[in-house]
Amino acid sequence: MVERLLYNILFPVFLVLSSPWYLNRLIKRGNWKRGFWERFGFYPKTTIESLRGKNVIWIHAVSVGEVNIALQLLKQLQRVLPGMTFVLSTTTTTGREVLHRNATAQMVAIYYPIDLLFSVKRALRTINPMAIIIMEAEIWPNLIWQATDRKIPIFLANARLSERSYKRYRFLRRFFCKVFDCFTLVFAQNQADVSRLCSLGIRPEKIYVVGSLKFDTVQLDAPVPVELNTIMEHLTSNRLVLLGGSTHPGEERILAEIYLSLRKSFPDLFLILVPRHFERAPQVAAELKSLDIKYVLRSTLNPKAMPVQPNLDCLLVDTTGELRHLYKFATVVFVGKTLTSHGGQNPIEPAAVGKPIVFGPNMENFEQIAHAFLTAGAAIQVRNKTELEFAIRMLLNDPNKRAEIGSAARNVVSTNQGATFKTAQAIAAILTRQLSIQHN
């Protein structure tokens, strides 16, 4: 009880102090007013009515990457638990957009409530879930405590703890042991995660190693939407293509400068830049202008009226949800947030379409996945800009090497799929027993 009291005193203070930064970030990302009050547990009448009297499973996924994993898990759960209604929550506007694009009659999309006691209680009263599934590492104490008090089973799916995150949790181990112990089951990606989770208070018998659900978010032969295919064929036909995916500040300029250097040897080279946060497109555009790189914004392109501007150098993507399709048009892929920022991004999508992947030294959030690719010779890791240019140049010069790395990458994906099915089966077994007890 002491831990709860301290948390519910200190967290609101932290929230007030950080609110200028938080609100500024919301406003920058745009469309912040839509669903704003959902963050405090206030929902539209349509949402409330759609959940009334239903058996609800609540799945929380922080942003786009986790949302895509959650949607795959939802599909598997629908097969083994027919008749359920699903609430999917996210914290970002981009995550919400992905949920809306994939909406079904059995799914309700909401913003995740801020972890204030009154917000969480309101959300739980409205949703009244029979189970809660949290994706990866979204540990919010009030939700977990309140769900436990209501005897709602809580599952941690695709659980991972990077060394960096683990050190933070370990620093407050006495506090977080009381939180982690509330989970009903935890589905870990690998043995390293099991060791870290056990040291934070989760009993070993609660943990199942199933692998990474991220490998199941891709289809090895997914078709490209017709309109996008028309646009990309127009821009990239008979050209070598360097694609920077999910890039972070500083990485776009590095890639642009490398592009200018490589263009001397590869005159037909085309650059595609996909910033992780599309609202940064104006800043990236300014950098491209300063380097005299001719670019076009993805949002301005229409397959029925393609630009007549000759000799375009670059496509700057200021839209969401298309990166996984754009990888198909790449010759070489650089995975962002790995050179100038920490954490890394998901290399699985370009691997699924057999593309040679290059990433920087910072892959903390994808440590085991990166290791799997590197061990199989399915990716190249570089330490700096110089090594990045060398690796890209080598790949552009050697189509056989590109094919070898791309084939190995695709094989890593196909051999690691299946974790979503295992997770859904285990959750369904517990919830089926719960429903049987309720009916009896």
Model confidence pLDDT, tens digit, residues 382-393: 999 999 999 999
CATH number at residue 129: 3.40.50.11720
- Judge if 304 and 338 occupy the same domain: yes
- Judge if 356 and 371 occupy the same domain: yes
- Judge if 154 and 260 occupy the same domain: no
Helix axes 141-149, 173-180, angle to 10 degrees: 40
Whether the pLDDT of residue 439 is over 80: the answer is no
How confident is residue 4, by pLDDT bands cut at 50, 70 and 90? Answer: very high
Q: In angstroms, rounded to a whole number, what is the distance separating the alpha carbons of residues 198 and 206?
A: 9
- Judge if 78 and 129 occupy the same domain: yes
**Is residue 20 domain-resident?**
no
DSSP per residue, 19-84: HHHHHHHHHHHS-TTTTGGGGGT---HHHHHHHTT--EEEEE--SHHHHHHHHHHHHHHHHHSTT-
Q: In angstroms, rounded to a whole number, what is the distance separating the alpha carbons of residues 325 and 224?
A: 6
**Is residue 220 domain-resident?**
no
- Judge if 202 and 234 occupy the same domain: no
Q: What is the pLDDT of residue 236?
A: 94
Q: In angstroms, rounded to a whole number, what is the distance separating the alpha carbons of residues 440 and 426?
A: 22
- Judge if 431 and 383 occupy the same domain: no
- Judge if 232 and 372 occupy the same domain: yes
- Judge if 305 and 189 occupy the same domain: no
Q: Which residues contact 168 (CB under 8 A, 6 or more apart)?
A: none
- Judge if 105 and 185 occupy the same domain: yes
CATH number at residue 257: 3.40.50.2000
- Judge if 258 and 205 occupy the same domain: no
Q: Is 77 exposed, middle or buried (0-12, 13-18, 19+ CB in 10 A)?
A: buried
Total of domains in the chain: 2
**Is residue 221 domain-resident?**
no
**Is residue 88 domain-resident?**
yes
Q: Is 21 exposed, middle or buried (0-12, 13-18, 19+ CB in 10 A)?
A: exposed
Q: What is the pLDDT of residue 38?
A: 94
Q: What is each CA distance from 123 to 95, 115, 139, 147, in whole angstroms?
A: 19, 10, 16, 11
**Is residue 190 domain-resident?**
yes
Q: Half-sphere exposure of 72 toward its Cβ, with a 13 Å CA cutoff?
A: 23
Domain span holding position 97: 31-210+418-439
Q: What is the pLDDT of residue 308?
A: 59
91-112 confidence digits (pLDDT tens): 988 899 899 888 888 999 999 9
**Is residue 360 domain-resident?**
yes
Predicted structure pTM score: 0.86
How confident is residue 352, by pLDDT bands cut at 50, 70 and 90? Answer: very high
**Is residue 14 domain-resident?**
no
- Judge if 40 and 104 occupy the same domain: yes
Q: Which residue has the higher pLDDT, 31 or 120?
A: 120
**Is residue 332 domain-resident?**
yes
- Judge if 266 and 386 occupy the same domain: yes
